[in-house]
Structures are given as structure tokens and as C-alpha cells.
Structure 1
Amino acid sequence: MKLRNLFPLGQALVLAGLLAGPAAHAQQPRELPQQPRPLTLPQALQVAQANYPALRAKQAAVRAAQADVRTNRSAFLPQVSAQLQAVNSTMNQVRGAFIGGVAIPISGGIKTTDYNGATNFSSLGALVIEWPAVTFGRYRADEQRSEAAVSAAQADYDQAVFEYQTQVADAFLLALGAEKSVALQRANLQRAENLATVIRAGTRSGIRAGIDSATTNAEVGRARLQVLAARQQAREQRTRLAGLLGQPTQEVLLDSMQFYAHLPQTNAGPPAGDTARTNNPLLRAYARRITAGEAQVKLLSANKRPQLNLLASTWGRGSGVADATTDKGDFAINSSPSAGLPFKAYDYMLGATLTWRATELIHSGRAAQAQRIRVEQARADYDQQALQLATQQQNAALQVDLARQTALAAPLQLAAARQAYTQARARYDAGLDNLLVLTQAITVLNRAETDQALATNNLWRAVLLQGAASGNLGGLLGQL
């Protein structure tokens, strides 16, 4: 982008910032803590778990499921309702009539000799207590369903954390490998520059041919390009890691923790089938979904049963319609609020109601059958995941074995390459060999150093892959 094109863009950004100022002030982004510097792998896993939005969403889902448990339990507590009202209405009504609500309905006739449009005040105050005392297993089934939902949400969160930790650990190792590549290419550049300095001095003194100086300068340029390419790749890997940590704007400084000082220990093979099924977070999540589905089946089956409610109510009523009739048989009406609003009659009621919806047998039975089919689907998904994990475990064991053999063979290649470079340098300095042989020796040494670092990094990643397949990263983190 040309410089003159930046000014309209900058003006537009400033204008947009001014227009969006109040909105941005109203909703501030979540402030993220600074990363530890240097950042170790365990610290990276901790930062990712605390900051990544997807994991915080999973945590919120667990808390919501726990809140649902408390909500469902409160639904089976006694329900206390109160109602207080004042009404001004015509007298063509049942004396003491009221607007519908929680109060118990009443009946009684006050038929007058003729219709009258006069109004009067009436009042009502009621307190009703209703308690589903006996639900014939529905309460327990609903509680088990909500608790199973909490377990499923927690298992889903644990699985998400484990999967994300695996991604972060792999990104950390890749970024670490890229940093190691930068260090190796810098060392290669330093070798090329040192050799170029010696050759230029020899060229000026007439000991070396001019073509040697030009060739060496070309090798120095190539080494610089390799350093730039390695730096670009390292920057990309660090940016990817920072994004996984939930802090893409912060620079990541890695702590190697001597990853390249020793090789990791490897397991003999994958754990036993039952152990892997029990400990693997992914399979635990699928198993909890089966349990939640079975709890839903029990709840739907419990809906076919009746329910016994205990009921208690007390209320008071007032009316501007007189209790006694006049000589003409009409009720006397007093339209003043003081006559109609004070309570005059008080009642209470105690009882029990047994409710059974016969048609619920059909509805709940069909819903339970549909839910059983979903449980069968969840079991099939569980078996599929178990099969895939068993395959991944076998593949991870093969990858670890191959990476371990490669990592053990790489030092032999590096030692031979160093010896070849030393001999080629000595022969070149003695005038017994040309620059081409020395350049090839430098290239072989650089490739051997790169292969050595790559083999070590691949072995650590293979151990990570094995831990991811078995559902336990302790084999990797326990060696740090």
C-alpha cells in the first residue's frame, strides 16, 4: 500500500472511532493478564485454560446446569401465593365476586328483582399454599435427569479442556521447533560469514582465487535467506500459539526447558482397553451423554404416573352489597369505598387433589420410546469413538517407535557431518581441496543439525500424540 493511500484510511479509522466511542466505552473487552516471560509449556496450558473464550463458555454451561438442578429442586417445594385486589363494578354480579387469580372460586346468588347498573366496591385477600407431596417418582427422576445433565456438561468441559491442551502443547512444540531452526540457521550464517572473512583475506593477498570469494558471498547470501525464512516460520508459529492462548496481540517468548538436551521417555504401549475407556475424557463425555439420555427416559416414564397435591387456602372478602334485602326484595348497595373494601367474611380450606392424566400414558410412552432410540444412537457414537481411539493408540505407538529410532540415529548423522566439515575445512585451508567440497560439507552439516533438532522435536510430539490418544498428558508433562 502506498503511503498516500494511508491518509484516507487513517481519517476513516479516526472517524469510525469517534462515532463508535460511546458503544466501545459501554462494552469494554475483557482485559487479559500478561503472559509469563519466558513461557513454559505448563504455564501455556494454564494460560489457555483461563483465557480461551470457548473454554469459558463450557464452564458457563456447567454452572448453568448446576443452576438448573437448584431450579428443579425448588419446583417441588410448597408454592405460596398471595392475592389482594379491590374492584369497582356493577351490582349485577355474584356478591363477593372477584377477578380470577390464585384465590379459590366461590359461588352464591344475589338475584335482584331487576337489573341495576349501580356500582359498588368489593375486595378480596387470599393466601394459597399448594405442595406436590407425592409425585410417585417424578421428583426423583427429574432430579436425576438434572444431575446427569451436570455430569454431562462437566465431562464435555473436561473433554474440551483436554483437546485444547493437546492443541496448545502441539503448537508450543511446533513454535519451539521453529525457534530452534532459527538458532541453527543463525549458526550456519555465522559459519558462512567466518569462512567468507578468511577467504576474502586470502583473495586480497593473492592466496585464494577470486571465484572463491564470489562463491562464498553467494553462500552467505543464501544463509541469510535461510535465516529470514526460519524467522518468518517462527513468527507464524508464535502467532498461532498466542492465538490459542487467547492473547494474539502479545508477543510469546518461549522457555525451551531443555527440550533438546535429552530425549523423552516413551511408554511400552497403549494402556489396557478398560483403563483407556475410563480415563479418556472424550469417552467419558460420550458416556455421560448416554447416562443423561437414560435419565431422560426415566423422567418421561415417570410422567405417566399420577400426582397428589396438598392444598391449603384462606381468604377474606368485602362487598358494598348489603347482606339483607330491602322490602322490595332488592339488595341495598352502598357505593362508597369504605363500605365495600373492608373484609366482612373470612374462610379457609384444607384438602388434597389426586391428578392423573390418562392421555399422558400415550404421549409419555411415545416420547420415552423416542428417547430410548436416542440413547441407542449415543451408545453407537460411544462405540465408534472407542474404535477410533483404539486405532489412534496403535498408530501413536508406531509413531513413537519410529520417532524414537530416528532420534537415536540422528546424532550419528550429525557426528559424521561435523567430522566431514572439520576434515573439509582442514583440507581447504591446506590447499588440498577446492571450495566446492567445503561448501557441500557445510550444507551437509546444516542439514544434519536440522535433522537432529527435527528428530528430537518429532519424538516429543509423538509422545504428545500418544498421550492424546490415551487421554492422559501426564506422560509428557511429568518429564518437564
Structure 2
Amino acid sequence: MKLRNLFSVGWALMLAGLLAGLLAGPAAWAQQPRELPQLPRPLTLPQALHVAQDNYPALRARQAAVRAAQADVRTNRAAFLPQVSAQLQGVNSTMNQVRGAFIGGMAIPISGGIKTTSYDGRTNFSSLGALAIEWPAVTFGRYRADESRSEAAVSAAQADLAQARFEYQAQVADAYLLALGAEKAVALQRANLARALALATVIKAGTRSGIRAGIDSATANAEVARARLQVLAARQQAREQRTRLAGLLGQPTQDVQLDSMAFYTHLPQTAAGPPAGDTAHANNPLLRAYSQRITLSDAQTKLFTANKRPSLNLLASTWGRGSGVHDAADDHGNFVIDSSPGAGLPFKAYDYMAGATLTWRLTELIHSGRAAQAQRIRTEQARADYDQQALQLATQLQNARLQVELAQQTAQQAPLQLAAARQAYGQARARYDAGLDNLLVLTQATEVLNRAETDQALATNNLWRAVLLQGAASGNLGELLGQL
């Protein structure tokens, strides 16, 4: 009874310790937040893409998935290596019926002779030591199928990482161009405000001298106020775009200072388009990811098929046993028992065995056959998903080409609009200064010039974004990044 109470207390302490470990585990093992480096100032687009790959958690998760798949390959290979097991035990047990009890394990159970007298509760020490080697020497293709499935899982994880990295690069590049366009809008509105301030200064001087009417001064003040509001709106838009870009870079709390890299000094070159057909499909990260999923599904089907086959295992084992029960019985047929540890723990008998076992689970034919059939259906689903993605990418690529063509035509016409607007503004300013036109005409010319400058910058930015869109649809951003 005391021994039972002792076991109960021991189990209670063990469970309490396990529960405490589980409760304290998350707090003790929680990782500290990563300390992120400062963003370069100014930040170029290639630098932004590099920072995004290092800091964005989703990409780090995909990288961890690749490492886990590679670890699974090593684990699966180790499963087909020879398994070496060792066991050593010493027990003190009652001796009813047989020459000694031992804890079940990998040793071959051997019972002793049965007593001819009544039962008793005396105890004795016994020992057991064993060494066993088991090797699945012939798996009839199951080892190779399992290895191929593991390697296909690595390729699929790497393709998913490449797909995520490419899509993320496209997102970061688009966010960079949008933020750059917003910064350019701020600069243009500041220039417009400077023109309004300069004109207001001249008008106020003319009003004080009596050359200009008082309404001109009020109108100029209104135009200055409107220009200031446009600057504030442009700044707000630029701040929002910079915050979005910083969030994609994994550092939403940092202020981003952009480097224009002469985006607005020249137009990007547009190629005729990526190669069509299988070449374009093979180079697209998204389609490669879907293709690797098909390969992985095929490998899983082959593994299910290989599970139908038998396996040949080679076995070898050696063990020794000791017991406090003497080999010879007394005159009454009772076993002679020596309860001392020195009599029961030393090994007295040694055995060994070697052989082979051929195992064929016949019911596995049904199970694996149905599993392989279900996996083949999943492969068909993966092929259909691949075809759907290829169709969508072909449509996106065609739309991207049309947008590039339209953006290129717009970017070529925008300078003509800007030149005409500047000429109109110069003429209106000259006529107003000469007293030949009123302020309304000059104000309209100013608005036309501001709109033309904005359209020029927007057309240039849209062409860069159209080239980016075409690269994203074709799976190649080299055309864009090669021009920076």
C-alpha cells in the first residue's frame, strides 16, 4: 500500500512538472523581435528589392519551408539505413511458474521450465542485454519512390519560393513607382505654388501702385491658396505611398527617401515581348511552381504504387540473460532461488540469431491502389490548375502589351502638350504684363500648364509601370531592372 502511494505521488509530481513546462514554454522560448537595419537614404529600386527579400516575413517563411523539405529528404534517406538497437535491463520480480520475468523489448522472449509445486511470491533478480540490427535491404522500388517524392517536395518548395519572391518583387517595384510618381506630383505642385506666389507678388505691387485692379489681387490670393491646397494633397498622397512601400519592405515605421534614378529624364525601352509557347511557360515562376506541383503529385502516386510491393528485411541479434534461479531444482522439484543481486544480474546464457523476413501486406494492395487512384485524380486537378494559370497569364500578357503600346503613345504625345502649354503660358503672361489680357486668361493658362506638367510626369510613370506589368505577366523583370 505504501509502494502504491509512492507511485501515485511520483506520477502527480511528473504531471505537475510537465504542465508547468508547457505553460512556461511559450514565454521562455518566444523569440525576440528582429532588429531591422535602417533603409538606405536615398533608396533605389534595386536596393528596395534587396531589402524586401531580406526582411519580408512571408519570404522568410517560404525559405524555411525549403529548408524543412531538404531536411525531410535526409530524414527519409535515414529511414532506409540499418537500424541498430541496444537494450539493457535489470529487474527484481516474483518467480511464479517461470525462471524469471523480463520487460518486453527487442529481445527474443524465452520462457523457463514450469514448476511442479505450488506458487509462491519470492523474488529474484534477473538481467537482459541485447543488440539487434535490422535493415530493409530490398524494398522493390519503395525507397527510390520515397526519395523521389522527397526531392520533388524540395523542388516544389523552391518553386513556391521563387514564385513568391517574383510576385513580391513586382509588388515592391509597382509600389516604388507609385511612390515615385507621388513624389514627382509634390515637386510639380510646389513649382505651381512658386509660380502663383511670384505672380501674386507682381499683382500686389501693381495693385498698390494703382496699375492693377483690386480684384486681380484677390484672385491671385485665391490661386495661391488653391496651389497650397494642391501641395498639401500631393504631400498626403506621397506620404501614403511611402508608408505602403515601407510596409512592403518590412519596415512600416521608417520614412523612405526615394532616389528618382532619372526615371523622368528618359522613357524606358519596350521590347517586342517575351518568347511565346513552352519557352515562356518554362521561364515563368508562377507556371514553374504549378508545374512542380504536378511533378510532386506524380511522385506521390508512384510512392503509393510502390507500397503495394513486399519488403525484404535482414535481421541479426545477439543477447544475454542472467537469473537468480538455479538451473537445477531441489529434491522436491522446487526451483532454488538466490535473491541476491550478485546472483541474478550477471549474464549466464548467450544467444544469437540471423535471418531474413519477407513481408507482404496483402491488404495494402487495396489501400495503396485506392490511394494511388485518388492521387492520380489530384494530378489531373493540378494539371487543370496549371492550364488555368497559363490561360490567365496569356490574357494578362496580351493586356500588358496593349497597355505598353497605349502608354508609349501617350508618353510620346505628352511632351507636345507640355510644350504648347508652356508657350501658351508665356504668351498669356506677356499679354497680361502688357495689359492686353485680364487675369482670368492668365489663370486658365496656368492651370493648363500645371495639368500638362502633371500629365507629362504621369505618362512617363505609366509607361514604366506598363513595362513592369508586362514583365510581371511574362515572368521576367530583367527588361525593367536592366534599364536602371
Same fold (TM over 0.5): yes
1:436/1:198 CA distance change after superposition, 3 Å: same
CA distances 1:396-443 after superposition (whole Å, capped 9, x unpaired) = 000000000000000000000000000000000000000000000000
Per-residue deviation, 1:104:
1.9
Pick from 87, 90, 94 the counterpart of residue 94 of structure 2: 90
Is residue 233 of structure 1 aligned with residue 237 of structure 2? Answer: yes
104-113 or 367-376, which moves further after superposition? 104-113
Counterparts of 1:293-304 in structure 2 under 5 Å?
Answer: 293-304=297-308
Alpha carbons 1:96, 1:317 under 8 Å: kept: no
Matches within 5 A, 1:330-479: 330-479=334-483
1:24 Cα deviation from its structure 2 partner: 11
Deviation (angstroms), 1:270: 4.0
User: Pick from 250, 256, 275: which aligns with 2:260?
Assistant: 256
| Rounded Cα–Cα distance in structure 1 between residues aligned with 2:351 and 2:165 | 60
> Could you tell me whether the CA contact under 8 Å between 1:112 and 1:331 is conserved in 2?
no
Asked whether the equivalents of residues 116 and 333 of structure 2 are also in contact (C-alpha less than 8 Å), the reply is yes
What pairs up with 1:54-73 in 2 under 5 angstroms?
54-73=58-77
SS state of the match for residue 89, structure 2?
strand
Contact in 1 for aligned 2:193/2:227 (Cα 8 Å)? yes
- SS of the aligned residue for 2:140 comes to coil
TM-aligned CA deviation for residue 103 of structure 1: 1.4
Asked if 2 retains the 8 angstrom alpha-carbon contact of 1:155 and 1:284, the reply is yes
Amino acid at match of 1:129: I
In 1, distance between residues paired with 2:84 and 2:349?
Answer: 22
Indicate yes or no: 2:116 matched with 1:112.
yes
Q: Are the counterparts in 2 of residues 270 and 397 from structure 1 also a CA contact under 8 Å?
A: no
Instruction: Give me the whole-angstrom Cα distance separating, in 1, the residues matched to 2:138 and 2:403.
Output: 60
Please say if 1:47 is aligned against 2:65. Answer: no
- Unaligned residue ranges in structure 2 (runs of 5+): 1-25
Residue of structure 2 in register with 1:142 after alignment:
146
Letter of the 2:356 counterpart: A
Supply the AA of the counterpart residue of 2:385. Answer: D
Give the alignment partner of residue 102 of structure 1, picking from 101, 106, 111: 106
- 1:283 paired with 2:287, answer yes
- What amino acid sits opposite 2:241 in the alignment? Q
**Counterpart residue number, 2:22:** none
Counterpart residue type for residue 293 of structure 2: R
CA contact (8 A) 2:93 2:100 kept: no
CA distance in 2 between partners of 1:95 and 1:366 (Å): 50
Match of 1:205 among 192, 209, 213: 209
**Aligned position for 2:328:** 324
For residue 318 of structure 2, give the secondary structure of its aligned residue in structure 1: strand
Which whole-Å CA distance do the structure 1 matches of 2:478 and 2:451 have between them?
A: 33
Give the letter for the 2:457 counterpart: A
Distance 2:28 2:338 in 1: 62
- Distance (Å, rounded) in 2 between the aligned partners of 1:176 and 1:188: 18
State yes or no: 1:186 paired with 2:163. no
The alpha-carbon distance between structure 1 residues 235 and 143, as it changes in their structure 2 partners (threshold 3 A), is same
Aligned to 2:20: none
Contact persistence 1:96–1:318 (CA under 8 A): no
Cα distance in 1 for residues equivalent to 2:269 and 2:361: 65
Which of 169, 181, 185 is residue 177 of structure 1 equivalent to?
181
Q: Quick one: distance in 1 between partners of 2:348 and 2:101?
A: 13
Residue 269 of structure 1: CA displacement? 3.0
What is the root-mean-square deviation in Å for CA atoms of aligned residues? 1.3
Separation in structure 2 between the aligned mates of residue 89 and residue 304 of structure 1, nearest angstrom: 44
Letter in 1 for 2:311: Q
**How far apart, in 2, do the equivalents of 1:449 and 1:204 lie?**
33
Query: Once the 2 structures are TM-superposed, how far is the Cα of residue 107 of structure 1 from its aligned partner?
Result: 3.3
CA deviation string 1:123-182 (max 9, x = no partner): 101111111000000000000000000000000000000000000000000000000000
**TM-score, normalised via structure 1 length:** 0.94
What secondary structure sits across from 2:436 in the alignment? coil
What is the one-letter code of the residue matched to 2:93?
Answer: S
1:11 is aligned to: none
Aligned residues: 459
Residues 281 and 93 of structure 1: CA distance in aligned 2, closer, same or farther (over 3 Å) = farther
In structure 1, the residue matched to 2:42 is 38
TM-score by length of 2: 0.93
Shift of 1:23: 6.3
1:267 corresponds to which of 249, 265, 271: 271
Going from structure 1 to structure 2, the CA distance change for 1:400 and 1:93 (only over 3 Å counts) comes to farther
Deviations 1:187-206 (A, max 9, x none): 00000000000000011111
Q: Shift in Å at residue 374 of structure 1?
A: 0.2
How far 1:302 moved relative to its partner? Answer: 0.4
Contact 1:88 1:121 in 2 (8 A): yes
Q: 4+ residue stretches of structure 1 with deviation over 6 A?
A: 22-26
Deviations 1:36-56 (A, max 9, x none): 110000000000010000000
1:224 corresponding residue in structure 2: 228
Q: Aligned partners of 1:106, 1:249: CA distance in 2, in Å?
A: 72
Aligned counterpart for 2:163 among listed residues 134, 155, 159? 159
Provide structure 1 residue ranges, at least 5 long, that are not aligned to the other structure: 1-21
